[in-house]
Chain A
Amino acid sequence: DAGVIQSPRHEVTEMGQEVTLRCKPISGHDYLFWYRQTMMRGLELLIYFNNNVPIDDSGMPEDRFSAKMPNASFSTLKIQPSEPRDSAVYFCASTLGANYGYTFGSGTRLTVV
C-alpha cells in the first residue's frame, strides 16, 4: 500500500485565493482525519470522517474552512478565502478504527502571502 497520499506537497498562494488540499486514505480505512500543525499550537484536529460522513468538525477554525469526502478514497480540505494566518502544515491521516494505529500522510505545507 502506498500509504496516505496528500497533494500538493507545497502550496504558496496569495491572500484571498481559494486553496484546495487533497487526501487519499489507505484503502479500507474507515476513518479519515485532517490535522493542522503550527509552531505555536502544535497538532490540532480540524475534522474527521467515518465512512465518508463528517463526525466532528468542531476544530474547523471558521466558515472559511470546509471539508468533503465524496467517496471512500478521496477527501478535500478547502480554504476560501485564504489568509496569512492559515499558513501551516496540513496533515491527513486514516485508520481502521479505535484500536488500530493511525497512518499520516506527508502533509501539505501551505504558505499564504
Chain B
Amino acid sequence: KQEVTQIPAALSVPEGENLVLNCSFTDSAIYNLQWFRQDPGKGLTSLLLIQSSQREQTSGRLNASLDKSSGRSTLYIAASQPGDSATYLCAFAPPNAGNMLTFGGGTRLMVKP
C-alpha cells in the first residue's frame, strides 16, 4: 500500500525566508503528484501538478520537484510571506490504485511577520 510521509509536520519561519517542504512515498510507480494548500476551515486548493513524465513545475514563488527514483518530492517556497501560512499537502495517484489520491499528513506552515 502506498504510504506518503510529509516532514516536518509543522514549521514556523520569519517572513522572507526560503523554505522547503518534503514529501516521501513508498511506491515509485505513480501517475502524478499534486501539491495542495489548505487554509484553516477551508477546502483544498491545487498549487502544482507534476505528471509522471515531468520532474518539476513552477508557479510564481513556488517550485515543486519530483524524484521517483528516490521516492521524494519537494515544494520550494521562495521569499515566504505571512499569506503563505497554511497547511500544505502532497498527494499521489498510484497506477495500481485507479485514480485515487493518497495524501500525506500535511505540513502546517506559519510565516511570522
Verify B103–A42 contact, CB threshold 8 A.
yes
CB distance from A8 to the nearest CB of B (A): 14
Of A98, A103, A109, the contact of B99 (CB 8 Å cutoff):
A98
The answer to whether A43 and B103 touch (CB under 8 A), given A48-B98, A106-B42, is yes
Of B41, B99, B102, B105, the contact of A97 (CB 8 Å cutoff):
B99
Secondary structure call for the B interface = strand
Contacts of B36 in A (CB 8 A): 104
Verify B100–A107 contact, CB threshold 8 A.
no
Classify chain A: how many residues form its interface, as a range: 20 to 34
1/0 per residue, CB under 8 A from A, across B33-54: the answer is: 0101000011111100101100
With A43-B103, A101-B32 known, 20 other A-B pairs at CB within 8 A are A33-B100, A42-B105, A42-B106, A48-B100, A50-B99, A91-B43, A93-B101, A98-B99, A99-B32, A99-B51, A100-B49, A101-B34, A101-B49, A102-B34, A102-B46, A102-B91, A104-B36, A104-B43, A105-B43, A106-B43
Chain B contact residues, CB within 8 Å of chain A = 31-32, 34, 36, 41-46, 49, 51-52, 89, 91, 93, 95, 98-103, 105-106
